[in-house]
A and B are shown apart, each in its own frame.
Chain A
């Protein structure tokens, strides 16, 4: 016990080493993004830039700003739609139990674990047949539908905490299905919405498989554009690094500012919540 306490510096040493290792890639991204293409040299990868080349970000902005706009449109619309639907589903599944709900709910949940490759060919065919293939609308539709399981799950677990007595009281006052939702459940939903919106925002912003198969050049979100730029031949690495920072910043800011809710969503993903 006492020897353990005396050797506390070992703990801090280990934590410092771990922190440095975790931050190594961050250092490299920032340093590389601030170098002029001519200064990027494999041998001097780790050195600090001789002159701060802020122009990388201006150049990257030219390439990426339309893609960022796509990402924002996609993410905001799909997040709000899937959150609203998930809230309604969660309300029904937690407060209006009906026969068969115990079968419907697990079947819905399974939809969030499947490898999307297993539905990708029919989805592609379907979007092509209704004329949504290649556009942002089709991608939004996909994200709303396949986001429903997780938003439903989080809201269902969240509403389960609202005591049934509160709803009973509302019923005595004459409130119906929508009255109870509008006057009692929805006003209490804010923390639930925060968790769901943060989770969906991060997931949809970061998503790649749907984005790369269902969009065209004009409608592609930032993740696809970034992968294409970095995967091309003869890359000037300051650009993809600046692009990586731009692609990471929205979700990173959300995480740093609202980390507590982010972790809640994270833990909710392991079903029991």
Chain B
């Protein structure tokens, strides 16, 4: 009798948090989704009215964002996020792994170095942004660093440079995505074939070839816009990437170092006895064991980079067109221009992107836990 009453007490004690999260997370997401299908804020006089006149417009806001003439900025923002994520991840993983390897060599003062490489993690992105804003002043900071050893100063206008490289037409996006997925499927097919899983290889090969054929024929004639629209990698992001890597690479270092410490020393000894040199040891024994860590680091950093907001806000300002991302555009659209419906649509796109990364991750790591 007593136990069941305690069980009810337990559920009752959890209830406030469940209700709070239910309302503030899921209820509010639902409300944002609803707003994104409305026209709230399209007429500015209605935006902040006590009882605004709101009409439902279906997918119109999303259509505008992806194919509308005015919302070219949002599409460039998506491209910016894509390139930022790639370089941010590559930088953090590469530097983090490198530093972890160095610290794994029984160095003296390891604790000191570890503290040093990790300390930017404890700072606010706003502090980092403020510091790097000053570091990257066009005629000061990093640009005049060479003059301290007598070399000529650099001229790069870090955060405001308008150069764009690797440009492509937005209309080519469906075809390009098709080709990319086809290529991934072919790689999957090849590795399944090698692993002896014939059926999986055949399915992957067939769908890869079909998708590739579509991308090269019909996929080319899909036009999202009635006109060509070029997007590319804004060079101005290089500075943002530097600052972000400075702040976050200590995190990957800590993850990798924990992973390296988890590898039993017998395993390394065994490899050495078998005649592996240090480089072979890392390539064939250590790196494969670190793969799960790389995956979780990619997911955690990837969702941070999709959401990146404060760093760019503090470094370049919310209005700096060359370093814009969807998270900033949402803020500007909803809270500066009061276009709530369009802001909500941007937020939903952002949520879907983050969920695509996080949900499978939560799924697998929690499922593994209950099995244990």
- Chain B neighbourhood of A78, CB < 8 A: none
Q: Is A190 an interface residue (CB 8 A)?
A: no
Given contacts A1-B278, A145-B21, contact A252 B105 (CB under 8 A): no
B347 contacts A254, C-beta separation under 8 Å? no
Query: Quick check: B343 and A121 within 8 Å, CB to CB?
Result: yes
Residues on A with beta carbons closer than 8 Å to the beta carbon of B218 = none
Task: Please indicate the chain A residues that have their CB under 8 angstroms from the CB of B300 in the complex.
Answer: 269-270
Binds A, one of B2-10, B172-180, B184-192: B2-10
B296 at the interface (CB under 8 A from A): yes
Write the chain A residue with the least CB distance to B105.
Answer: A11
A62 within 8 A of B: no
Residues of B within 8 A of A244 (CB): 127, 130-131
For residue A29, CB closer than 8 A to chain B, the reply is yes
Verify if A118 is at the interface (C-beta below 8 Å from B).
Answer: yes
- Inter-subunit contact A145/B20 (CB<8 Å): yes
CB atoms of B251 and A28 under 8 A apart: no
Choose the segment among B24-32, B69-77, B84-92, B193-201 that binds chain A (4+ C-beta atoms closer than 8 Å): B24-32
Determine how close the nearest CB of chain B comes to the CB of A120; give it in whole angstroms: 7
Q: How far apart are the CA atoms of A123 and B162 in the complex, in Å?
A: 36
Which parts of A117-151 form the interface with B (CB within 8 Å)?
A: 117-126, 142, 145-146, 148-149
In the complex, what distance in Å separates the CA atom of A146 from the CA atom of B29?
13
Interface of A, helix, strand, loop or mixed by DSSP: helix
Which of A107, A109, A248, A270 interacts with B124 by CB under 8 Å? A248
Q: Does A76 make an interface contact (CB < 8 A)?
A: no
Q: Which residues of A contact B330 (CB under 8 A)?
A: 117, 120
Chain A nearest CB, measured from B26 CB (Å): 8
Q: Judge whether B24 and A119 touch: CB under 8 Å.
A: yes
Is B370 positioned at the interface, with any CB of A under 8 Å from its CB?
yes
CA distance A89 to B2 in the complex (A): 21
What residues on A are CB-neighbors of B369 within 8 Å? 272
Instruction: Tell whether, in the assembled complex, residue A226 and residue B127 are in contact, meaning their CB atoms are under 8 Å apart.
Output: yes
Q: Which of B60-68, B111-119, B208-216, B222-230 contacts A (4 or more CB under 8 A)?
A: B111-119
Give the A-B pair count, Cβ closer than 8 A.
278
Indicate if A108 sits at the interface (CB-CB under 8 A): yes
Structural contact, B123 and A252, CB atoms closer than 8 A: yes
Interface size class of A (residues with CB under 8 A): 35 or more
CB pair B2–A93 under 8 Å, yes or no, is no
B365 interfacial contact with A, CB 8 Å: yes
Compute how far the CA of A10 lies from the CA of B239 in the bound complex, rounded to whole angstroms: 29
| Residue from A14, A126, A237, A255 within 8 A of B119 (CB atoms) | A255
Whether B321 is near chain A, meaning CB under 8 Å from some CB there, is: no
With both chains docked as a complex, state the minimum distance between the C-beta of A111 and any C-beta of chain B, in angstroms: 4
Question: Is the Cβ of A45 less than 8 Å from the Cβ of B141?
Answer: yes
Assuming A42-B144, A46-B148, is B25 touching A14 (CB within 8 A)? Answer: no
A25 touches B135 (CB 8 A): yes
User: When chains A and B are docked, how far (Å) is the Cα of A249 from the Cα of B358?
Assistant: 32
Whether B278 lies near A25 (C-beta < 8 A) is no
Query: When each residue 182-220 of chain A gets 1 if its CB lies under 8 Å from chain B and 0 otherwise, what string results?
Result: 000000000000000000001001111100110000000
Q: Distance in Å from the Cβ of A147 to the closest Cβ of chain B?
A: 11
The 6 closest A-B pairs by CB, nearest first: A42-B140, A206-B124, A96-B10, A255-B122, A208-B310, A119-B28
A19-B113, A209-B309, A251-B122 given; name 4 further pairs at CB < 8 Å. Answer: A105-B366, A119-B29, A251-B123, A255-B118
**Residues of chain B at the chain A interface (Cβ within 8 Å):** 2-3, 5-7, 9-11, 13-14, 16-18, 20-21, 24-29, 31-32, 35, 99, 102-103, 105, 107, 113, 115-127, 129-135, 137, 139-141, 144-145, 147-148, 246, 251, 254-255, 258, 272, 277-278, 296-297, 300, 303, 306-307, 309-310, 313-314, 317, 327, 330-331, 334-335, 340, 343-344, 346-348, 350-351, 354-355, 358-359, 361-363, 365-366, 369-370
Of the A-B pairs whose beta carbons lie under 8 Å apart in the complex, a sample of 11, sorted by A's number, is: A4-B278, A22-B116, A42-B141, A43-B144, A96-B10, A98-B7, A117-B346, A121-B32, A122-B27, A177-B9, A231-B317
